């Protein structure tokens, strides 16, 4: 693009929420049965947690018990 006779490089900054703490770049996938999924869903709704936050908390609790 030219702006006032000066060549301008088009740069786009990514929109979205800023990263808080360490970026979460690793994805873990697993399969669970429907009964466990329902328990997790209900727990998350009651505690107002995302499923990702719930799973991170559960993993940290388990690792800290050892």
Model pLDDT for residues 21-50, shown as the tens digit of each residue:
888 899 999 999 999 999 999 999 999 999
For residues 4-24, average pLDDT: 72
pTM above 0.85, yes or no: no
Q: Is the pLDDT of residue 1 over 60?
A: no
How much is the pLDDT for 15?
77
> What is the b/e burial string over 12-25, where b = at least 16 CB atoms within 10 angstroms of the residue's CB?
eeeeeeeeeeeeee
* Residues in CB range of 58: below 8 A, 6 or more apart: none
DSSP state of 22: S
Give the C-alpha separation, 21 to 57, whole Å. Answer: 15
Phi, psi at 2, each rounded to 5°: -110, 135
Note the pLDDT of residue 38.
98
């Amino acid at each position: 693009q030219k702006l006032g006779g000066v060549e301008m490089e088009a740069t786009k900054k990514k929109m979205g929420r800023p990263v808080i703490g360490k970026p979460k770049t690793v994805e873990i996938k697993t399969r669970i049965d429907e009964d466990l999924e329902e328990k997790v869903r209900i727990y998350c709704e009651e505690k107002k947690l995302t499923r990702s936050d719930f799973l991170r908390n559960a993993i940290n609790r388990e690792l800290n018990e050892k």
